[in-house]
Amino acid sequence: MNDGLWVVEKDQVMVEGEAITFSVDFIGATTVASPDTKCYLNGEDYSATALSGSASVSGSVVTCKTVTAQAGDGGSTYVMAVSATVNGNAEIRKFLIRVAGPADE
């Protein structure tokens, strides 16, 4: 596994039904453009189901599309892929979202 692909922050946790807009900082970048966000579940593109809105950029920070933890996905892990053109290069950073059910401890 390439550690350079993963964001610095630890895995995130969401509860089914929550909707959160995450941000990813491409640290040290002087230009960031053309941001996008994808969500994968069990290796399949789950973006059409879990994501809404659009990604944007300000400075070196990409604001991702809003992710909604879907009902019935408790116990699952979403792989989030945040892409952008960074200093002229196509780059992707990833982070995990662990989905908890509403009654999970």
pLDDT of residue 55: 98
pLDDT of residue 4: 56
**N-term to C-term CA, the chain:** 30
Residues lower than pLDDT 50 in the chain: 1-2
Residue 43 per-residue DSSP state: T
**d(C-alpha 30, C-alpha 50), whole Å:** 30
Q: Is 49 helix (H, G, I), strand (E, B) or coil?
A: helix
Domains by residue range for the chain, with CATH: 3-100 (2.60.40.10)
**d(C-alpha 96, C-alpha 77), whole Å:** 7
Q: What is the pTM of this model?
A: 0.89
Find out whether 36 and 83 touch, Cβ atoms under 8 Å: yes
pLDDT of residue 2: 47
Token pair for 2:
């390439």
